Amino acid sequence: MAKHAGGRWLLRLDDLDAPRQVPGMADDIMRTLESFGLLWDGEVACQSRNMAAYEHAFDELRQAGMIYPCGCSRKEIAGSASAPHPEDDCIPYSGTCRCGMKPGATVRSWRVRVPDEAICFSDLRKGLQCQVLSRVPGDFAVRRGDGEFAYQLAVVVDDSLAGVNQVVRGDDLLGSTPRQIYLQHLLGLPQPEYCHLPLVTGPGGTKLSKRDYLVSQQAGTLRDRAETLLVEVLRFLGQNPPPELAGYSCRSILQWGTAHFTPQTIPAQGGMLVV
């Protein structure tokens, strides 16, 4: 979609959670992309280089009175949640610490105050999407008590720094988008376009996890079928590639995709990807 619009396709490594970083994994990710002809534009960005910008955004929110410290543990939040919310993967926060933490409590996170109104946006595939943040997810975390910045704040700052004007990602992140739009509004940052794609599922119908089917772990086998895989991905996304395209190089297949990609034909539902 980026290339079809004459734009650039950027690569950013989300490396905020240092203890969970696997040595060599970043290089493995990039080599796997290259083996399928997926070549990024410009330098590779890393979240770990943006700490000063995150700190600046955090200070801006704090000075505006839009965030507050929270002493609630995940267990406490889960125990106080009145009902599960299947449309989101987070535990709704009831606002226990909005007016102050309990005496002697330890700061476990910093949360942003959300309004009791709908945040709406137009998704390029799914159309109008609205979420009332006060119901789901409630006041959400932008920083952990140990100082680590949360995903929601980091990606908003990252996208602004890189000049991103279109975000294309999976349906599993659809629920995060209203939070990010709200932060963009608070910080005076531009709002990109969003397009959320159908998910590839496993045999049980659940989202295919990286743990289930690591492409990089099967790179030797898959490189021999890279062209077939790319064609099947285009078909999965509703792009109707001609069968003979599988006989072309990865570069040629991606060039065809760039020339013909049509968001309007992306299917409403995901499913299994058979290759």
Residues 225-244 pLDDT 10s: 889 899 999 999 999 999 89
Give the model confidence (pLDDT) of 240-270 as tens digits.
999 899 899 999 999 999 999 999 999 999 9
219 versus 6: the higher-pLDDT residue is: 6
**Residue in 166, 125, 208 with CA at minimum distance from that of residue 5:** 166
SS3 at position 117: coil
Assess whether pLDDT exceeds 90 at residue 131: yes
CA distance 202 to 209: 8
Q: Do domains 12-18+25-48+200-265 and 50-197 have the same CATH topology?
A: yes
CB atoms within 10 A of CB 267: 12
Assess whether pLDDT exceeds 60 at residue 155: yes
Q: What is the edge-to-edge ordering of all strands in the sheet holding 67-70?
A: 67-70, 109-112, 141-144
CA distance 66 to 156: 16
CB atoms within 10 A of CB 204: 8
Position 219 scores a pLDDT of 53
* Cα–chain center distance at 214: 18
Position 212 scores a pLDDT of 62
Q: Per-residue b/e over 209-234, b at no fewer than 16 CB within 10 Å? A: eeeeeebeeebeebeeebbebbbbbb
Positive or negative CA dihedral for 67, 48, 34, 20? negative
To the question of domain 12-18+25-48+200-265 being in CATH 2.30.130.40, the answer is no
- Fold exhibited by the domain 50-197: Rossmann fold (3.40.50)
CA distance 245 to 238: 15
CA distance 134 to 156: 20
**Domain ranges within the chain, ordered by starting residue:** 12-18+25-48+200-265, 50-197
pTM across the whole model: 0.90
Give the model confidence (pLDDT) of 77-93 as tens digits.
887 655 444 444 567 89
